[in-house]
Structure 1
Amino acid sequence: MPIRTQIWTVGAQPAPLKTAVLASEQFLENMIVSAPALLSEDWLLIGRQESTGQGGRIDLLALAPDASLVLIELKRERTPREVVAQALDYAVWVERLQANDIEAIYQRFKPGTDLAADFQARFGAPLEAEALNQSHQIVIVAAELDASSERIVGYLSERDIAINVLCFQVFHLGEQALISRSWLLDPVDAPQAAGASKPGTPSEPWNGEYYCSFGHGGARSWNDARELGFICGGGGSWYSNSLKMLAPGDRVWVNVPQQGYVGVARVTGYATPAAEFLVDYQGREVPVLELAKGASYHSEFIDDPEHSEYFVSVDWLHSVPLEHAVKEVGLFGNQNTICRPTTPKWRWTVDRLKERFGVV
């Protein structure tokens, strides 16, 4: 059913806030450019009103932490068929963008800046040319969502097209106007850009093996993870949501970016926020942050479900210290915390790691 949000005041006599409308979707676009977190705290805005060279202009363009592109199209009073068709048409243009094209787009959006430096500052990881625009997703932004739009987007999503709708609603609280946002599809369950490679890229059925990017550094420690039996991610929903893909019995291969592969494990639990995650230590269960002292694990966000670190318990089948990480030319790499790669490169990587780690 179409997205509708209701907000109530808190008190002895709760009262619903009155709904309102924005002056225009242009005003909404201006708000987003001024405060990109309105869309997502996990994206870096890189372009606005960019011409496709075919008579159309993309409203907004962003980069996700894995260097995939996010095409953002505002509905602007068009019919559902028009807005979805337009977004799909623009996606054909987006998927063909090369690294130099994307850098030029960013220069037009923010003249005199450096995309690689800003990406590093925003996400705390280098912008790898190989990963740039290997996939993309479509996000339609609407002030309201009708049933027809929901059916169309749902149909495409069920067929693994990475498309979603972000619906904004406005409310009045006295003289103050408030805005809320709601996703049509839960980002955890919706098809993600990371799962859809560019046309022409070889793919094959998933081999059942999970990939993990473990960001060793100030926020998390590989030594802690190895000793206490966990993998983790946090600091934003983009980093933690994919951990929810894992379930007990799954097998996951762990890569530390810039270092190499450091272990393979069997999953024994589900993604759990830091405030609730316990570690078996000397016969008793201890809160993880009492034992994991090698990094911060975003402890400042321990009571914030959106930014908290999330942990998954594992049994290590094989693990090595960082100085013995396996790093070879041709091994698969990705910045998603967890993903299910479907490229021949991933199958080859797993086969190679089985040899190196002595794991069947």
Structure 2
Amino acid sequence: MPIQHGIWKIGDHPQVLTNTTMASEEVLEDLIFKDISILNGNWLLIARQVYTDFGKPLDLLAIDITGSLIVIELKKHKTPRDVVAQTIDYASWVETLTSDRVVQIYEAFAQKFQLPITNFNQAFIDKFRTAPAEDEINSSHQMVVVAAELDASTERIINYLNDKANVAVNAVFFSVFQDGANQYLSRAWMIDPGETEERAINIGQKGDWNGEFYGSFGATYNGRSWNDALKYGFIAAGGGRWYSKTLFMLKPGDRVWVLVPKVGYAGVGEVTSPAIVIDEFIKDGKQLEGHYHTAAEYGEDDADYCVGLRWIKAVPESEAVNEVGLFGNQNSVARPRAEKWKHTVNRLKSIWGIA
């Protein structure tokens, strides 16, 4: 069914706000251009009205921390069939972009719209607090249809593409409400965007998952300590829901191979407890060397979360395995399907003598 929104003003008697229309979808595009978090705060906008090699302008193009490119197409009064077909057509062009071309597209966009940061690498670091990995840029892509109205036909087409064709496409529906001289914008995703992100990664890798989880224990931006992880048996992520949410994929009994970014693989462990906020993890008196974001200080969304592990093999950073050809990913936890991941697990098993 098409999604419907309603907003009520709280008072002695709840007052429903009048649902109105946006002047045009160009206005919505301009709002998203000014603040991409209207769609997703974990995206970096890298292009607006960029012409494809087919001679047609793509409305908006974004990138996330994994290097996945997001094709954003506004409906602009097109029929559902037209807008979805157009979005897929643009995605077929985006899939061909090299990392160099992506950099050029961003820098042309930054210069045209006089953005404060015109260098792609610097913009990526400023947004995600980590440098982009060249071999991950455009390793996958997603499609998002943005509509002022989400009709039943659009919903049916997008559901079919996700369920039957395994296509990473989603839709966002916006409503505008009037309260006197003020207007308010509300947003709803048709499908959980996390599902679309994972679908895009899995499609991009085109392989079977070997049942082994990948974990990243980042310590650069807030001073987490690998020594803490070794001593108390855990991995952690936080600083925003995007970073911590993948920890919740892990369940007791799962096995996870842990990379310390820019250092190497430093451990493999069996999950003993699901993700919990750091405040709960340290309440029994654990003395941590590193600095962690507690929910009490930073709020639950930006707090660090921990997953308990029984280390099967864990080594100090000085003994971490860092070889050319090993898998790397910006996600805190992932289920990689790439051949490189299978090679990585087999190589680490050999080095560490693990069956």
Q: Report if TM-score (shorter chain) is over 0.5.
A: yes
1:204 to 2:207 alignment:
yes
1:181 is aligned, of 175, 182, 187, to 187
CA positional deviation for 1:297: 2.7
1:345 is aligned, of 337, 340, 345, to 340
Contact persistence 2:277–2:295 (CA under 8 A): no
CA distance in 2, matches of 1:193, 1:36: 20
1:141 is aligned, of 132, 139, 146, to 146
Q: Which amino acid aligns with 1:259?
A: V
1:109 to 2:109 alignment:
yes
**Where does residue 282 of structure 1 map in the other structure?**
none
Contact persistence 2:281–2:306 (CA under 8 A): no
SS in 2 for 1:178: strand
Q: Which amino acid aligns with 2:167?
A: I
1:295 to 2:301 alignment:
no
2:128 is aligned, of 123, 132, 138, to 123
SS in 2 for 1:269: strand
2:251 is aligned, of 247, 257, 275, to 247
CA positional deviation for 1:328: 0.7
**Where does residue 218 of structure 2 map in the other structure?**
215
Query: Does the C-alpha gap of structure 1 residues 300 and 172 become closer, same or farther in structure 2, counting only changes over 3 Å?
Result: farther
Query: Does the C-alpha gap of structure 1 residues 192 and 205 become closer, same or farther in structure 2, counting only changes over 3 Å?
Result: closer
**Where does residue 73 of structure 1 map in the other structure?**
73
Query: Does the C-alpha gap of structure 1 residues 156 and 106 become closer, same or farther in structure 2, counting only changes over 3 Å?
Result: same
Query: Does the C-alpha gap of structure 1 residues 4 and 221 become closer, same or farther in structure 2, counting only changes over 3 Å?
Result: farther
1:143-165: CA deviations, max 9, x gaps?
Answer: 12111111111121224321111
TM-score by length of 2: 0.91
Q: Give structure 1 stretches of 5+ with no counterpart.
A: 280-284
CA RMSD, 1 decimal: 2.0
Q: Which amino acid aligns with 2:310?
A: D
Query: Does the C-alpha gap of structure 1 residues 301 and 34 become closer, same or farther in structure 2, counting only changes over 3 Å?
Result: farther
TM-score by length of 1: 0.90
**Where does residue 99 of structure 1 map in the other structure?**
99
**Where does residue 262 of structure 2 map in the other structure?**
258
CA distance in 1, matches of 2:158, 2:274: 29
Contact persistence 2:44–2:124 (CA under 8 A): yes
CA positional deviation for 1:173: 2.6
CA distance in 1, matches of 2:349, 2:100: 37
Q: Which amino acid aligns with 1:254?
A: V
1:308 to 2:303 alignment:
yes
Query: Does the C-alpha gap of structure 1 residues 172 and 313 become closer, same or farther in structure 2, counting only changes over 3 Å?
Result: farther
CA distance in 2, matches of 1:189, 1:255: 24
Contact persistence 1:69–1:133 (CA under 8 A): yes
Query: Does the C-alpha gap of structure 1 residues 160 and 286 become closer, same or farther in structure 2, counting only changes over 3 Å?
Result: farther
Q: Which amino acid aligns with 1:217?
A: T
CA distance in 2, matches of 1:169, 1:229: 46
CA positional deviation for 1:234: 2.1
1:303-335: CA deviations, max 9, x gaps?
Answer: 243x33332222222211212111011111111
SS in 1 for 2:176: strand
Contact persistence 2:237–2:304 (CA under 8 A): yes
Query: Does the C-alpha gap of structure 1 residues 173 and 235 become closer, same or farther in structure 2, counting only changes over 3 Å?
Result: farther
Contact persistence 1:249–1:267 (CA under 8 A): yes
CA distance in 2, matches of 1:221, 1:8: 47
Contact persistence 2:227–2:289 (CA under 8 A): no
Query: Does the C-alpha gap of structure 1 residues 163 and 110 become closer, same or farther in structure 2, counting only changes over 3 Å?
Result: same
Q: Which amino acid aligns with 2:327?
A: F
CA positional deviation for 1:4: 1.8
Contact persistence 1:47–1:105 (CA under 8 A): yes
CA distance in 1, matches of 2:273, 2:192: 22
CA positional deviation for 1:20: 1.6
SS in 2 for 1:255: strand
Q: Which amino acid aligns with 2:192?
A: D
CA distance in 1, matches of 2:180, 2:288: 47
Q: 5 Å matches for 1:46-65?
A: 46-65=46-65
Q: 5 Å matches for 1:261-340?
A: 261-275=265-279, 277-279=280-282, 286=284, 291-297=287-293, 302-305=298-301, 307-340=302-335
1:226-273: CA deviations, max 9, x gaps?
Answer: 322222222223212222222221111111111111111112233334
1:194 to 2:201 alignment:
yes
CA distance in 2, matches of 1:116, 1:209: 31
1:24 to 2:24 alignment:
yes
The number of equivalent residue pairs is: 347
**Where does residue 239 of structure 2 map in the other structure?**
235
Answer 1 or 2: which has greater helix percent. Answer: 2
Contact persistence 1:217–1:295 (CA under 8 A): no
Q: Which amino acid aligns with 2:186?
A: S
